[in-house]
Amino acid sequence: MNNDSRALTQEDIGFFGMRWVLLVIASLVYFLLYKDTGRTDIGGNIFVTFFIGAVVNIAFLVLAYYPKFHKAIPYTIVIGDLILAGLYAGMGFFDDALLRIGIASMLMLTAAVRLNFLWSIGQVVAVVAVVVLELYLTDSAELLTAIMPVLLPQLAIVAGLGLTAIGLSYAHEKSGEAQKAAVERMNWRAKMMVDNMRERNRVIADMTATLSATLNPDKVLETALEAGQYGVQSASRDRLVSAALLFRNDGALHVATSRGFNRNDTAGVVPGQSGILGRALRECVPVFSKDGHRDAELQFFTAFQKARSLLAIPLHANYDNFGVLVYGSEDSDAFNRDDTDLLTAIGTQATIALHNAVLYRNLLEEKERIVEVEEDARKKLARDLHDGPTQNVSAIAMRMSYIYRLLERRPDEVPAELKKVEDLARRTTKEIRDMLFTLRPLVLESQGLSAAMEQLCQKTLETHGQHVAARVGSDVEAVLDGHQQGVIFYIVEEAVGNARKHAEAELISIDIQRRSDVVVVQIADNGVGFDADMVNANYDQRGSLGMVNMRERAELLNGTLSIESSEGQGTKITILVPLRQIEDGARPRKRGTNPSMKPIGSPRAPANTSHR
């Protein structure tokens, strides 16, 4: 066995104890055999052999206790046994056959516990040689010849016990080597597990840092898949394929990023309605499956056709499914519980980061939209100032110049002209006040939407001679805050302005009511109407700025705007504002932009919920 093992192993303690037993038993049997023979050297022989044996045994214990002396242990045992066997032989212990066999066998068998195979052979040879030499030296040739029939069985027994000791030493050495190999394998596995755990922890830490630091959806998905590759503990990691499938405008799942996909796979599109994907998206939990070539949707991806273990993790946030992470391996049962928990955590963190990235992108888009709305409002104000007050002021200046010349030629006509200038100035003042009212209706801030609608009707009639009738439900103002009332007012004012300019209507009616879970705003006129389909077509090219302004302001409330009109039949504009989001205080959000390189439509709600 290995003599470099730690101090005081079980073998050391066993050898030390058995040697004390040997000394005690040998001394006791020797005393009992020869106490009645009249020999006077019994006590001295017992003392010398016991003392030498004790010294050798204690020396062994000291050497075994200090690892740096372990190499000296086999020398101590063999030399000590050789000396001890010689003392036993020289002091008559071997005169008795039973004692000879017992002492020799105990020396050899106990040494086999602590010596390796080669040292055990040497120790057995030395002990047997002492036994044979003792017989040869103490008896004459004639006596040896006479007692040879008796000695041969004894020697055979001693030799057999020696071989047994050698066999035990060999078996013990092999057992120790096997234990050592088993320990080394366990240590290697433990080291691999520790290294793997460290690698997993590093990947998770890097993923967490990346996901918390980036608002780039592409980076989010790349990091999630990379973390997933390192998250699998089994040997199937090298054969793992994975993909992030996300919804786009067509409502189908597209490959946003992948590992192990070929070019055809990356262009794949699946509906996400059946198989492992459909189940994961419906139940919003990780789902396992086998045999990718039999899956209703994953079979269309070459990378998953040989997979014998599949795991789908939905990218689910709030009431929306953004898509799904899919992992596949050619190994059976490749994903254990720890793998699943880790991959699920990765999917959860990726979904949160993905959701934040989408919200950030939507925030930027909404910011740009608000800037565009404000820019359009400034352009509209500039047009209105140019077409109205600016023209009137120019007319006043021209009439004042005319009046100045008229004073010299026809003074009697001057009062009439001054009256015209006064009327023009008053009309200009009304127009400017009307513009100021539409820009910032103070009555809206102080008295609410109903009073603002009433004042809008009055000013439109006073300034432009257009009849407008408004009706606001008594419970509408209670569910709208100041910002929301302001947005609705601007939409109504824009619609009234468009109808006044283009509809040639006798009456424009405004109706704002709460109906179930929405606030319904309708602006209708009995004018000439227009081709609504043509206006909607021009909307895509931003050909109708009035329609653009109203639609984008409606989107600020997460509402919808529709137009009903035909030539000669008048026009009706309807705005629907979801009341649930208003009452919950939720801010409007444009749902779902594909975190991949192309924009997508809304994330799809789970099939087993009522949220859309």
Spatial separation of the C-alpha atoms in residues 522 and 543, rounded to whole Å: 23
The pLDDT score that the predictor gives to residue 508 is: 93
Q: What is the pLDDT of residues 304-313, one digit of tens each?
A: 888 888 999 8
Domains of the chain and any CATH numbers: 10-186 (no CATH), 214-363 (3.30.450.40)
- Which tens digits make up the pLDDT trace of 288-308? 888 888 898 998 898 888 888
Residue 542 has pLDDT above 70, yes or no: no
The DSSP bridge pattern shows strands 269-270 and 287-289 to be unpaired
pLDDT over 50 (residue 417): yes
Bridge partners of residue 257, in order along the sequence: 244
Lowest mean pLDDT among 194-203, 226-235, 353-362, 396-405: 226-235
Q: Which residue has the tokens 């070459």?
A: 302
In total, the chain counts a number of residues equal to 612
Output the CA torsion sign for 383, 389, 393, 394.
Answer: positive
The pLDDT of residue 601 is 38
Cβ-Cβ contacts under 8 Å for 134 (sequence gap 6 or more) = 89, 90, 94
pLDDT in tens, 31-58: 887 777 777 778 888 888 888 888 888 8
- For 260-296, the pLDDT digits (tens) are 889 888 888 999 889 999 998 888 888 888 888 889 8
- 197 vs 496: which has the higher pLDDT: 496
Among 177, 302, 315, 294, smallest CA distance to 245 is for 315
Report which secondary-structure segment, H or E, holds 328: strand 320-329
DSSP result, 40-90: S-HHHHHHHHHHHHHHHHHHHHHHHHSGGGGGGHHHHHHHHHHHHHHHHHH
- What's the pLDDT score for residue 611? 35
Per-residue pLDDT reduced to its tens digit, 131-150? 777 666 655 455 445 444 54
Residue 156: the pLDDT is: 65
Residue 340's identity, in one-letter code, is T
Pairwise CA distance, residues 220 & 86, whole Å: 82
Percentage of residues in the chain with pLDDT exceeding 70?
80
How would you class 112 by CB atoms within 10 Å of its CB: exposed for 0-12, middle for 13-18, buried for 19 or more?
buried
pLDDT mean across residues, the chain: 77
- Coarse DSSP helix, strand, coil percentages of the chain, rounded to the nearest 5 percent: 65, 10, 20
- In this prediction, residue 521 carries a pLDDT of 94
Given the structure tokens 């919808």, which residue do they identify?
Answer: 560
Contacts 24+ apart (CB under 8 A), 50-53: 50/23, 52/83, 52/84, 52/87, 53/19, 53/22, 53/23, 53/80, 53/84
What is the CB neighbour count within 10 angstroms for residue 597?
A: 9
Tokens in use for 85?
A: 């066997």
The DSSP H or E segment spanning 320 is strand 320-329
Query: In whole angstroms, how far apart are CA 166 and each of 4, 36, 106, 124?
Result: 20, 38, 13, 7
* Residue indicated by tokens 């106490």: 35
Per-residue pLDDT reduced to its tens digit, 428-443: 887 787 777 666 677 7
pLDDT at 511 over 90: yes
The DSSP bridge partners found for residue 558 are none
Strand blocks (E) in 137-252: 241-247
The pLDDT tens digits for 447-475 are: 888 888 898 898 888 878 899 999 999 88
